Every structure is written in structure tokens, then in C-alpha cells.
Structure 1
Amino acid sequence: MSRSSFAAKSYRTRGIVLRTHKLGEADRIITLLSPEFGVVRAVAKGVRRTSSKLGATLEPFMEVEAQIVAGRSLHTIIQAQLRHPYGQALVADYSAYTAGAAMLETAERLTDSEADSIGAQYRLLHGALATLARGGHEPGTVLDSYLLRALAAAGWAPSFTHCVRCGAVGPHQAINIPLGGVVCHDCRPAGSMSPSPATITLLAALLEGDWESVDAADAPTRGQAGTITANYLQWHLERAVKSLKLVERQ
């Protein structure tokens, strides 16, 4: 659905709260990711008052059902019901919280424009936050899996099994970030990386959601895969995701 659909005076949408900003003495600007409308910025009036019922609902990581009145620049949230309180679990775990914050920032970067993949991006973010909130997987690997899948949904799918230049089936020993994945010996350009074979295997598992393989990886392998994923993300976004600097790796 295009942004022109905002022509309606009032509309309902699900949304994940990406961030909030103070406005005046009692209001906040809420940035939501909607599966229909992409990034929506709307004012929530009075939510900073202790008497407000919306204050705890419209917080980062929360999935809500919102009733919104359209405006020329900013919209106004007049009602919001909590669907999934992911933030309650994430704020109690610093590693999960920082991983989730990097997800929210990335989601906003990837969807803050007209995009055919908004619905897919929403589902990916929703699933990743739910996985973080449940626990059971190391938060850094949940983040890396989300980042690789989100980039793939945006049209930048990496390849960790076939040479990105000639298509030769791997395993291959080098990765070239500008080219988008592994390269064979004959196609390898200068400046390519040479991670461990275990790291390349882990990157493929993260992209495919093979959690049995992901959970079996050791800390050095996870760390190297995380660095490559962050570099690949920065290459395509053309600027750093600031929240990644705070992510704790185990």
C-alpha cells in the first residue's frame, strides 16, 4: 500500500515502535513501522503524564494496534492497544536490548521510503524481536540472522555457497563484501577477506535460519561472522548503524 493511502482522515494499523522523541511538556513523537504504510511518524499527546494509559504501550520494541488520524506532516495517535510487549523482556537483558536496538535502527533505515518489501521487512523484524524476547539463542546471532535476511528482502541477498561472479559451487575460501559474498579462487579480486571456513558456514546458516548449526558455533566464529555482517550492512546502507557499536557479543 502506498503512502497516498494516508489520504483517509483516520486509519488503523499494526505497528512496531521503532523510537520515540519528546515533544513539548507532555507529548511524544512516535516512529512506528507499519506493514501497510512503512515508517509512520505520529504525535501521541499527553503520553508523558503519569495518568496516561498510552505511555507504557508506545515504547520501543512494542507491537501495537493503533488508531491514527492523518495530518499533513505528522499524524496523531488517538488510540493504541498492546499486541506483543517485547520491550518488557528486552529491557531486562542488556545483550538482547542492544541487539534489538540495532534491529530497530536498521528496520527504519531499510523502510523509510517507498519499498515493495515493507511487509516482508515487518515480518522479519517481528519474528526477530519475538525470538530475542523468548531467549534461547545468543542475541548477537539473532541480530546477525535478522540483518542478513533484512538485506536479502531489500534486494541485497548475499551468497555464501556459490561464487558471486561465476556461480561455481563452494565451499570457497574468500568473501568480497562489495561483490556480495563468497568468491572462488579464479574470481577473487584484491581486497577480499579470508575468514575461517567455519565462519563462512555460519554465515550461510544465519541467512538460512539453520539454528542448530548457528547455536553450535563457537564464540570466535560468531564474532568474525558478526563483523562481516556489520560490514556488509554498512556497505549497502552507506553509513554505519550507530546501535551496532553497543551490541554485546558472547
Structure 2
Amino acid sequence: MRGYKVEGIIIKRRDQGEADRIITLFSRSKGKISLKAKGVRQSNSRRAGSLELFNRVKAGVARGHSDLDILTEVEVLDAYSSWRKFLGRIVIAYQLCETIDKLTPDRQPHPGIFELLESFLSQISSLSDDWQETVDSWLTRIVIELGFLDPGIKPEMNIKDYIEQLSERPINSVKLLKKLSPRQ
């Protein structure tokens, strides 16, 4: 099996079977890729802590026989720990990652989106009390970068509703974010 190294941000993860987890990584060079992390749900797994949502990681990957490649090694480059203890900020990060996951196709590089996500995750800890406007502007920048909206043109509806219309699926984090507004 041939392999490759990739740096990316974990935007989604889901359990598979008894011990495995599917990790969705958004990288500068490969875009959105899903990787199978074998055995990480076992109590003796050394990689489990490195595979938390929102971590920026460097991963070693082996090409799989199916559509999923296999995660073989992982190193955390940034865990964004300065804001992880605040639920509201975690929900903001989740909303950004969920939006990118729903609006980007697999294996299509979007270096601009990676750079925006990396920048936004770094700025979450310094958000002020009126963060909702900032988050909406971040979501708008993501939609513009992906080509769904021309710069300078506002959608006819709220940006979150516009994203849901584009993806034809609800953004789950929006409901939780509304419950936490206006503070967190």
C-alpha cells in the first residue's frame, strides 16, 4: 500500500463498528477527505486523543482498498485549547466545520477555505460578546470563497438559511447556537 502525509483540520468524526472511527479531515492540498482510524475507540488507543474535532493535525495515511484511506499516524499541530472549555465557542467552531463539510465536495482542494477555517479557529478565543455578527461574516466569507455568492452581494435571506438552502440539509449547530445567543 502506498501512502501520503497530509495536514488538515478535523471537521467531522463518526463511529464505525466496535472500535473504528471515520474522521473527516479538511486539508489545504486535498480538500475534504474521509479516513478510517482503526482501533481508536479502544481504551488502549494512543491516537484517540489526537483525533478530537477541530484539531489541526499532520496525518500519515495509507491508501485503502475501498473509497476510504486508512489513518496510520497522527500528530497534533494545534488543539485550539484556549476556547475549548466554553460551550458557545465550541458550537461556533462546529457550525463553521459543519458548513464546510456540507458545502464542499470530497477530494477537491480549496486552499482558501482551509486558510479561512484555520484563521477563524484561531480567532474564536478573542470573540467579543456580540460574536453573532462576526460568525455571520465568517460564514459569508466561506460561501463567497466557494463561489456560491458574489462578493458585495448579500443573499436575500439570513446567511444560515442560505447555507441550508444551498446544502439542501439543515445545519444542526444553528439550533444550539440560537439557544446560546446572545452570550457565550
TM-score category of the 2 structures, normalised to the smaller one: 0.7 to 0.9
Shift of 1:47: 1.4
CA contact (8 A) 1:19 1:59 kept: no
1:160-216 Cα distance to aligned partner (Å, 9 max, x none): 5xxx6xxxxxxxxxx761xxxxxxxxxxxxxxxxxxxxxxxxxxxxxxxxxxxxxxx
User: Which residues of structure 1 form unaligned runs of 5+?
Assistant: 1-7, 165-174, 178-226
Which among 108, 111, 118 is matched to residue 104 of structure 2? 111
Q: 2:148 aligns with which of 156, 161, 169?
A: 156
1:241 matched residue in structure 2: 171
3-state SS in 2 of match to 1:56: helix
The one-letter amino acid paired with 1:24 is: G
**Contact preservation (8 Å) 1:17, 1:33:** yes
Alignment of 1:75 with 2:5, yes or no, is no
1:32 aligns with 2:25: yes
> How many residue pairs were aligned?
178
Matched residue of 2:49: which SS? Answer: coil
Secondary structure of 2:40's aligned partner: coil
Aligned pairs for 1:97-136 within 5 A: 97-113=90-106, 115=108, 118-132=110-124, 134-136=125-127
Paired with 2:33 and 2:47, the residues of 1 have a C-alpha distance of 17
Percent identity over paired residues = 26
Does the aligned pair in 2 maintain the 1:100–1:143 contact within 8 Å? no
- 1:96-139 deviation per Cα after TM superposition (whole angstroms, max 9, x unaligned): 111111111111122224646x111111111111111x324344
- For 1:28 and 1:45, the matched residues in 2 are separated by 7
- TM-score of the pair, normalised by structure 2: 0.85
Report the Cα offset of residue 235 of structure 1: 3.3
Q: In the alignment, what sits opposite 2:139?
A: 147
Q: Which residue of 2 aligns with 1:170?
A: none
Q: 1:63: which partner in 2? A: 56
Structure richer in strand, relative to its length? 2
Q: Per chain length, whose mean CA-contact separation is higher, i.e. which structure has more relative contact order (CA < 8 Å, sep 6+)?
A: 2
Deviation at 1:81, TM superposition (A): 0.4
Q: Distance in 2 between matches of 1:89 and 1:27?
A: 29
Supply the distance in 1 between the matched residues of 2:161 and 2:123 (Cα, whole angstroms): 23
The structure that has the greater radius of gyration is 1
8 Å Cα contact 2:33-2:107 kept in structure 1: no
